Amino acid sequence: MLFVFGGSQGARAINLALYAILPELLRRGAQVLHGTGLSAGTAWDATAEHARRLERLERECADWSCLSASYHARPYFDHIQTAYAAADLVCCRAGAGALFELLAMGRPALLVPKMGLPGDHQTANARSAERMGAAEVLLEEPLIEEGRIEAGVRPERLLERVTALLDDEARRGALAGRACGQFQADARDRLAELARALADGARPAGEPHVDSRRSLEATPTAELVDAAADAGEDDRRYLEYRCLSALVSAGWSERNAGIKLAAALRLERALPLLVRIAEDPAPATGLRRLLGERRRQNGFIRRNLMSALAFLPATMETDRVLRAALDDAYWEARVEAIRTLAAQCRPVDGELETRMRSFLRRGNFEEVQAVAGWWAACMPAAGWREWILPLSTHPNCLVREAAIRALQRKQEQGEIRPDELAEELDLFMLTSTHFKPQFPLKQAMRSLAERRKPA
């Protein structure tokens, strides 16, 4: 017996995944008890959707008339303890009330916390129960459905996790045993004792130690980037969840933190969302439009997104995004797009080459710097006099340094022989307006010139 519910109002994400796997569950011999929910709002009407899904099952599932005898649904359970008692496995949200009931009843559970709640408190609840060994957790993820992004559960993942638990009586028994062990029947008396002791100014004997370290759940997304490098398997799973949740946030700063976290995690699953953010067609409005912005997405987001793509696999979609960013109104987004195209070293066609040449003619100095690096990574060395030599007298010393380093890279790769450079190196202007203890421009030239000397 599998008992599925999502609180009094229901949980649309859980319901949709359950409807999708229901025939397969029933064919495997499961009985399913389903609390569909009382929600009747404008966003979601649980009763109406339940009726539509059953109609579809009757129409599309040839053996539904036989299977339906094992499916028992109702909007709400007035005596939920009876449903708990009948269940071999419970699948539900992770609110404090539901968790308390599961511990009190000693029921094995697969918890599906709701994504995006304040403080991510349901996920914190669920992970706490999981660490106790009293439940297993299936995290939601953003799903693109009919052009919309919604938090949801992939049906195949729900089927996999539910059937694994239904088929493993020992595992369910272990979860139930630990759930019973965590329930504190004397909690009321203990709380009263603690309150009296605190009122008297005493420190109660046996007061549990509180770990002062901040949990991942309580850490702002922007600060999770540093945790990505050495995260264990369980923490990485949570960080991936937080990353995906942030990418669909309505707040630009949270979305921006999600982009940085996707890069830190090298999270390929985030690529569809990153592409969608980059190609968001919503136009800029108000003052931003008057200032020349064409896109609703914040310029910092567009810039950081181009940087993040350098840490993820190159695809046709990312190539399209990067090329489009070469025309971005925000110059930092254009620069990062060039750098990522260099890092990915995608095949160069005539259109891309023409675009890069245009940056050399009229780009700002950071764009020209980036193009020099792109040329070194992606273009044949034979064209160095045409691409790089004109930069030898560029007004900005950082551009000249980038040009020298581009030649150095080609030489290190064996694409340019030391004697090919000949007198052209003398054309480079080695003056600098920057005061630094070291002189990077001359150091770069010295390193390149050293390679011309015979061994």
Alpha carbons 237 and 157: distance in angstroms, whole number = 14
* Pick from 131-135, 248-252, 315-319, 369-373: least confident: 248-252
Grade residue 187 by pLDDT with cuts at 50, 70 and 90.
confident
| 33 Cβ contact partners less than 8 Å away, ≥ 6 residues apart | 1, 2, 3, 4, 72, 73, 83, 86, 87
Same-domain status, 253 and 383:
no
pTM of the model: 0.79
Give Cα 249 distance to the centre of its chain.
Answer: 11
Q: Can you tell me whether residue 21 is helix, strand or coil? A: helix
The confidence score (pLDDT) of residue 213 equals 54
Same-domain status, 109 and 252:
no
What's the longest Cα–Cα distance across the chain? 91
Domain count, the chain: 3
**Structural domain span for residue 316:** 219-346
Phi, psi (degrees; rounded to nearest 5) at 338: -60, -45
Taking Cα atoms as reference points, which of 202, 14, 23, 142 lies closest to residue 90?
A: 14
Please indicate, yes or no, if residue 137 is contained in any of the structural domains.
yes
Residue where one domain finishes, among candidates 182, 206, 240: 182
The confidence score (pLDDT) of residue 72 equals 96
Same-domain status, 341 and 382:
no
Q: Is the confidence at residue 444, as pLDDT, over 90? A: no
In total, the chain counts a number of residues equal to 455
The secondary structure of 413-429 as a DSSP string is TTSS-HHHHGGGGGGS-
Round the average pLDDT of the chain to a whole number and report it. Answer: 88
Grade residue 67 by pLDDT with cuts at 50, 70 and 90.
very high
Assess contact for 271 and 313: CB atoms under 8 A.
yes
Q: What angle separates helix 397-412 from helix 440-450, to the nearest 10 degrees?
A: 30
Partner residues linked to 144 by β-bridges: 149
Q: Higher confidence at residue 450 or residue 153?
A: 153
Please indicate, yes or no, if residue 203 is contained in any of the structural domains.
no
Please indicate, yes or no, if residue 189 is contained in any of the structural domains.
no
Please indicate, yes or no, if residue 207 is contained in any of the structural domains.
no
CATH of the domain at 117: 3.40.50.2000
Judged by phi (left if over 0) then psi (alpha if -120 to 50, else beta), residue 148 lies in: beta
Grade residue 55 by pLDDT with cuts at 50, 70 and 90.
very high
Tell me 70's DSSP state: G
List pLDDT tens digits, range 116-147: 888 889 999 999 999 999 999 999 999 877 66
The confidence score (pLDDT) of residue 53 equals 95
Alpha carbons 137 and 125: distance in angstroms, whole number = 10
Grade residue 148 by pLDDT with cuts at 50, 70 and 90.
confident
Assess contact for 157 and 91: CB atoms under 8 A.
no
Please indicate, yes or no, if residue 43 is contained in any of the structural domains.
yes
List pLDDT tens digits, range 33-50: 999 999 987 678 999 999
The confidence score (pLDDT) of residue 451 equals 60
Taking Cα atoms as reference points, which of 198, 192, 194, 188 lies closest to residue 206?
A: 194
Please indicate, yes or no, if residue 354 is contained in any of the structural domains.
no
Phi, psi (degrees; rounded to nearest 5) at 314: -80, 130
> What is the percentage of the chain residues whose pLDDT exceeds 90?
61
List pLDDT tens digits, range 189-225: 888 988 998 898 887 665 555 554 568 888 889 999 9
Same-domain status, 162 and 65:
yes
Same-domain status, 162 and 239:
no
List pLDDT tens digits, range 395-437: 888 899 899 899 989 988 889 887 777 667 777 777 766 555 5
Alpha carbons 371 and 214: distance in angstroms, whole number = 43
Phi, psi (degrees; rounded to nearest 5) at 41: -75, 175
Please indicate, yes or no, if residue 188 is contained in any of the structural domains.
no
Other beta carbons within 10 angstroms of residue 369's beta carbon come to 26
The confidence score (pLDDT) of residue 442 equals 66
Determine how β-strand 148-152 pairs with β-strand 141-145: antiparallel
Assess contact for 139 and 3: CB atoms under 8 A.
no
Same-domain status, 53 and 10:
yes
The confidence score (pLDDT) of residue 92 equals 97
